[in-house]
Chain A
């Protein structure tokens, strides 16, 4: 009787992929999380790390797409690319302030003005000429 030997083909495990897509999302979100922490700490430096981390995150997501594609992944990437673009636009363009060119330059007298203090009393430039130095802080709104 013939001795029949059968070989079962070795099932090789699929190559292990690094979770680049997930890492990209996490790095992206890390920047936003760090910014919230920064605000909690009342620190108001420009958070350049937010769009930089977002860009790194998007880069990892793009690399991940070279390994495996899918509609969900591509859609998510498009969303994150748009968010990343918004972050760069916000920091580079939207938050930029114009250079000060007004009349109150160093060495000049304050121009004539009149307004009211919170208690309803008047406040004019003459109040700032009474011998004591002052700081005028112009804010966008209540902080």
Chain B
């Protein structure tokens, strides 16, 4: 997902009382700068890739200098901590749009 697009549409997510957590392997300082740019999102610094390893979203060798980096993956989680929907694009250069995410949330919230 493109964070700028999510930030622009933050009201649509607030209407659904949904909080967005953007997680990357960036260090805490970079995460702090990102948070300034996207004040309506919650930026998570996962510099040690602990969440990424636990959730198994790492893409081996696709990061800088052959390191492991996150495969772009989006999870919609209900209020009890149960995963309702997972999306990963076939190619990392494509992105889920906010409209697609909102539609999936509406569809899977109703279940």
Pairing of A with B: yes
What residues of chain A have their CB less than 8 Å away from a CB belonging to chain B? 42, 44-47, 91, 95-120, 123, 125-126, 128-143
The reply to whether B44 and A143 contact each other, CB–CB distance below 8 Å, is no
CB distance from A70 to the nearest CB of B (A): 37
The reply to whether A132 and B79 contact each other, CB–CB distance below 8 Å, is yes
> Residues 23-53 of chain B: 1 if any A CB is under 8 Å from the residue's CB, otherwise 0?
1111010111111000000111110001110
The reply to whether A114 and B43 contact each other, CB–CB distance below 8 Å, is no
Q: List 26 A-B contacts (CB under 8 A).
A: A44-B95, A46-B91, A95-B93, A97-B59, A100-B57, A100-B86, A105-B83, A113-B51, A113-B54, A118-B45, A128-B77, A131-B80, A132-B18, A133-B17, A133-B84, A134-B76, A135-B19, A135-B20, A135-B74, A135-B105, A137-B1, A137-B23, A138-B24, A140-B71, A140-B72, A142-B26
Bound form: Cα–Cα A142–B4 in Å: 11
> Residues 55-86 of chain B: 1 if any A CB is under 8 Å from the residue's CB, otherwise 0?
11101001100000111111111111111111
Specify the main secondary structure of chain B where it touches its partner.
Answer: mixed
List B contacts of A103 (CB < 8 A).
54-56
Specify the main secondary structure of chain A where it touches its partner.
Answer: loop
List A contacts of B82 (CB < 8 A).
107-110
List B contacts of A119 (CB < 8 A).
32, 35
CB distance from B99 to the nearest CB of A (A): 13
